[in-house]
Structure 1
């Protein structure tokens, strides 16, 4: 399945998106390009940088084994696609905030991509 290749990349802590010869870049993995309908999609590594598009803080867990509060967000990757993810680290969060990729290990060896505040570099 196409999703297996995406999850395999997370084992190496690589966040990948699909690219089509037409120039379209997409996430989540699909069999067809959502830009042109083509099937010649390949996986490409991302830079790991993005911007918070929207978010919500969850205060009431949907299952008893989840710790609250946690923040779920849409992050627009620097490459263009949007990924639904968790925001890690202290808030407060704001829309349009720059974020960078981090990883949360899963028990089976895969890693879940999460995002944290982008370090703000200053020049001297």
Structure 2
């Protein structure tokens, strides 16, 4: 058989002087092959991570947008007003916490947290 048609796995086995020589050569060969394979593996992982992140983001936004489009306007308005009231309550709670923790000399005053009143339902 010519060298062009020979199977690479049918290479002639090398003879080594010692087990240590064989181990060193195998270690060297493994490192070289790993250096060649690493960039390809990194690219594959990066592409997979991108595809997964894109798919998750697309799915979440599509589902949310689609569901939002299906909701009646009254329900949309209620969700919007509730979100605004929640943001305002969180802002007030944050301000109270900052006041409380920024002045340790004054004794803490126990004030109940006031929740916003729910707006009357629209018909």
TM class by smaller structure: under 0.3
Q: Which has the larger radius of gyration?
A: 2
Structure with the larger strand share: 1
TM-score for the superposition, normalised by structure 1: 0.14
Structure with more of its chain in helix, by fraction: 2
